[in-house]
Amino acid sequence: MKAAAPPSPARPLPPLERYPQRLERQLSPFDAGVTGVLSYLRPLLGRPRSWGGDLGFVRRVRAAEATLPADLAACLALLPDLRRRSRKLQARMTEAGCAPILALLVRITREVLGQDPYDVQIAAVWSLMRGEIAEMRTGEGKSLTAALGAAALALCGRRVHVLTVNDYLAARDARHFAPLFARIGLTSGCIEESAQPGARAAIYRCDIVFSASKNVVFDYLRDQTGPVADRLGGLGSKLAALVPAGAAGSPLLQGLDAVIVDEADSVMIDQAATPFILSGGEAAMGGLDEAVFRRAIDLALRLTDGRDYHSHAGRRRVTLTEEGKLWLGEWAGAEAGLLAVAPVRDHIVSQALTALHLLQRDRDYLVEDGKVQIIDESTGRVMPDRQWSDGLHQLVEIKEGLEPGAIRTTLGRITFQRFFPRYRHLCGMTGTARTAARELWETYGLAVRRVLPRRPDQRLWAPVEIHATAAAKWQAVGLKVRALNARDIPVLIGTRTVGASRDCSAALHALGIDHHVLNAEEVAREAMIVALAGEPGQVTVATNMAGRGTDIVLSDRARAAGGLHVILTELHEDRRIDLQLAGRCGRQGDPGHVHRVLGLEDGLFTSEPARLRRLALALHRIAPVRVVYLLLLLIQHRQARRASGARRRLQKYERERERSLALSGALE
């Protein structure tokens, strides 16, 4: 019997609303303060209860699935009527209305992809449709959950963006789930960094769009600052609807209707304070030429830490002391130019000090093809389209012996903290959301819903090892890997920086251990390395690139040998990142082990007073390992709180800046 053709996709947006988005909340300082206090009190009022496979909505879906026709073509024939009835659910999602949608999607997914969604995945989809953050343990199938959630929202008449942390994951999921969307009459596409504007505009007209978050943010800024900006909201959008599309230029995006954020805590918390700056084509040096930058570096080299300036490594910034400012003022004398202006001089020299002493090669950036490429610490990936602002990037280029690039005109600027609340329907998923639940609620108004795992956790945690020196740590890692390798056990070694991955690789080479290295320098080989990582005897050294969205599938032999063993060689600023890396093993009931081999020369101490490391060394000699480990956890907690405070200050600054610029228009 010939299968029925999929129904043609209906246009989900009203004709007079081409660019839907939610109006940004305008909080006064008092309102913001009250919201902050309530965010701390909210846990005392009770958290959303955890959901499992026995949820009432799941039973509704399974019951509705049992009533569907046995033939797939007959199921597809139900779609047009279901889509018409589903439009009413945009205003209010109800169990009775959404259960038939999920039942049909589950059935079609089983037939088209050969994947049978689990009950816990259906529960997570319901959480997404309600506008929550679903916390699903690593390996529970977040990719399929996001695809089902996107399809369900699209069938309800929404345009859906599925955003994740990088292009690799977005392209992978877009390819895998395209047949499912096509079968139910939904169009889909993927925005990649290399896509041209014409192709981007066409993809954004699809019902479901996959992309890395940064791509959509920059395209949104292009719309908000481009020639169509005055026709995107209010009366302008209504009048523009009367003009044929393309007659006077069209925006790239089709608005901010609905979004599912994969790895939500990484995108919405770890990267929340990173401003996305859209630059123009013309240089805007404003007198900041190469000679000024080089002179600033020369001055910075003459200053003494502790006397002329204070370093704040945790915040990547430097503050000049009064003595340092006085010395710079005496040097300026009768000099002409920008460096003769005290505020400008102090700022540029502070930036030079930051470039010289706080930004480290192979930790904060790489030098490739004669360019400085920034590394995102939370993902371990290069961000080729980003630059540090206020001349800092140019100062780093001079530090590395490169020709400094031009400072470009800033056309638009926005952070994730202000971007995501503009979506009409905001939801997401991650494996580590509860520790960030307060901040997610305060910043985005999102509740965190824990979804219980389908199978019990079989992951085992080995006792912590702590070594006094980096050399001793890498030697211990090498010996541990050699013992595991002899038993055909696959091993994943997590490192914090590119430099650390090189040090680990050198230690393994010294012991004759074959291995792969996955870091920001090896992006082209990522898919191949990940595909091999679950094979018996494979050893993989990886930065945080392997910590999110990476599905390491175990072979039967590797599973029988004991599963994947993950070795954490350093604590990160936030424990969530460590848990993500540990989550590469023990997925869906598989066996797995987590080893923590740490050192007292790790980067955790870089931003802390020297006395803390001296205390750790003293405890290491006289106290049990667990006491030293407790100190490390306290330092980690201190750094996480410091980062959270920086994000809160940025949010406050954005609100104040918006009020001060209210008369001149939108902030971006």
238-247, 341-350, 382-391, 591-600: range with highest mean pLDDT: 591-600
- What does the radius of gyration of the chain's CA atoms come to, in whole angstroms? 26
Is residue 607's pLDDT more than 80? no
Q: CB 474: neighbour CB atoms within 10 A?
A: 22
Burial 44-70 (b: 16+ CB within 10 A, else e): eeeeeeebebebebbebbbebbeebee
**Per-residue pLDDT reduced to its tens digit, 109-118:** 999 999 999 9
Give the residue among 327, 329, 333, 343 at the shortest CA–CA distance from 390.
Answer: 343
Average pLDDT over residues 282-298: 72
CA separation for the pair 178, 162 (Å, rounded): 13
Q: Decide if 29-234+249-271+417-451 and 285-406 have a common fold.
A: no
**Residue 23 pLDDT level (bands cut at 50, 70, 90):** confident
**Per-residue pLDDT reduced to its tens digit, 377-410:** 666 677 766 777 778 888 998 998 888 877 766 7
Q: What is residue 110's predicted lDDT score, i.e. its pLDDT?
A: 92
**Per-residue pLDDT reduced to its tens digit, 266-277:** 888 888 877 777
Give the residue among 664, 662, 643, 659 at the shortest CA–CA distance from 32.
Answer: 659
**Under a CB-based contact definition with an 8 Å cutoff, are residues 543 and 503 in contact?**
no
Question: Which CATH number is 29-234+249-271+417-451 given?
Answer: 3.40.50.300
Tokens of 626: 């667990």
Q: Is 140 helix (H, G, I), strand (E, B) or coil?
A: coil
pTM above 0.85, yes or no: no
**Residue 451 pLDDT level (bands cut at 50, 70, 90):** very high
Lowest mean pLDDT among 241-255, 507-521, 615-629: 241-255
Q: What is residue 230's predicted lDDT score, i.e. its pLDDT?
A: 62
Is residue 7's pLDDT more than 50? no
Burial category of 624 from C-beta neighbours within 10 Å (exposed 0-12, middle 13-18, buried 19 and up): exposed
Architecture of domain 285-406: Alpha-Beta Complex (3.90)
**Under a CB-based contact definition with an 8 Å cutoff, are residues 414 and 24 in contact?**
no
H-assigned helices in 445-497: 470-485
The domain limits of the chain are: 29-234+249-271+417-451, 285-406, 459-646
**Residue 483 pLDDT level (bands cut at 50, 70, 90):** very high
CA separation for the pair 551, 653 (Å, rounded): 39
**Under a CB-based contact definition with an 8 Å cutoff, are residues 541 and 575 in contact?**
no
**Residue 338 pLDDT level (bands cut at 50, 70, 90):** confident
* CB < 8 Å & 24+ apart, contacts of 299-305: 299/328, 299/331, 299/349, 299/352, 300/349, 300/352, 300/353, 300/356, 301/356, 303/327, 303/349, 303/353, 305/357
Q: What is residue 651's predicted lDDT score, i.e. its pLDDT?
A: 76
**Per-residue pLDDT reduced to its tens digit, 217-250:** 999 988 888 777 666 655 555 555 555 554 446 7
Question: Which CATH number is 459-646 given?
Answer: 3.40.50.300
CA separation for the pair 110, 101 (Å, rounded): 14
Angle formed by the axes of helices 95-112 and 142-155, nearest 10° = 120
Mean pLDDT of the chain: 83
